[in-house]
Structures are given as C-alpha cells and as structure tokens.
Amino acid sequence: MKKIAIALPIIAMASFAQAQTGEVPALSDVLSGMSETEISTLEADVANDGSITGDIDVAIDGAIDDAITDGLITADQADMAREALTIVNANADFFNFDILAVIEDGLSNGDFTLEELNQTLSGFQSLSEEGKAIVAQESFSGDPSQPDFQSLSAEDQAIVTSAMPAVQP
C-alpha cells in the first residue's frame, strides 16, 4: 500500500512534466476524446492564458485531492508531491534524462523517501546555474572522488554533500 501511496503523486507529476518535455500524445488524439464543451473551454483558456498549463495544474490537484479523500496519501505527502512537482517543472530544461522515472523508481525501490526527495530537490534549487547543469546529468554522481562532482564550485559541492541525500552514493 505504501508503494501505491507514493506512486500516485509521482504519476500526477509525470503528467505535467511530460507536457513540459514534449512527450505528450498527439493533439488530434486528445481532441478526439474530448466533448464539444471541453474543446470550447480549452480554446477559451488558451485564448485567455496563452497555454493549457492552468488546466493541467487543476487536473493534477484534483487527482491528488481525490487520493487524499480516498485515503491513499496523507495531506503531508500531497504537499511534498506538489512541492517536488513544482521544483522538477521549474528545472525541467536542465535534466538530460527522465527525472520522473528515476524518482518513481527510487521511491518504489526504497532508495530514498519522499522527504529525502524533497530535501534533494530543494538543494537542487539552491545550486548555481552551472551546478544545476552538472548535477542534472544522468551520469552525475554525488561521490566526491568523481570528476563531475569535482567540477562543481566549492559552494555547489557543499550543497550536494549536505542537502541532497538522494544523490549520495
């Protein structure tokens, strides 16, 4: 049950991040499954806002709220999932791999907890732009003996070491 409780917010995160990374179904497939009312609402939203990001956020929040109501996750877990989603989406351009798949696998396998994930993502937010570009590579290792770690500034090394438990060897 714990795996289900952890995986549900990650699935919600994947929906939005896929939209950010361009890995979404064809628009024609999506539109063919929508009612006339849904299409009109979507067109109005895009005309007013210039994007459908708000609709996606509402759908994710609804899915998370339903999971809380159904007892699959706690409100604290939902808050952590939302925070993780915000950070991942704000930094999606840095990652050269499917960060959400890694997060889902790590949580499911017990490699790290949701709390450790959020701490790591918060640490990532604190890195310099150059540090983010290095740490967000699939090949990055938090091992201080590795060249990618050594190429970080001293400040970024300190952040990785002290505030990013999910990337520690």
Lowest mean pLDDT, pick from 89-93, 100-104, 132-136? 100-104
Query: Model confidence over 67-87: pLDDT tens digits?
Result: 778 777 788 887 888 888 788
44 or 121: which leads in pLDDT: 121
Polymer length of the chain: 169
- Chain centroid to Cα 55, Å, comes to 17
Give the whole-angstrom CA distance, residue 112 versus residue 168: 10
Give the whole-angstrom CA distance, residue 68 versus residue 75: 6
pLDDT class for 119, splitting at 50, 70, 90?
very high
pLDDT score for 73? 73
The answer to whether 20 and 100 are in contact (CB under 8 A) is no
pLDDT score for 68? 75
Query: Which domain does 123 fall in, by range?
Result: 2-167
pLDDT score for 35? 73
State whether residue 135 is helix, strand or coil.
helix
pLDDT score for 55? 53
Q: How many domains does the chain have?
A: 1
Buried b (16+ CB within 10 A) or exposed e, 84-101: bbebbbebbebbeebbbe
Query: Model confidence over 34-58: pLDDT tens digits?
Result: 677 776 776 676 566 555 455 556 6
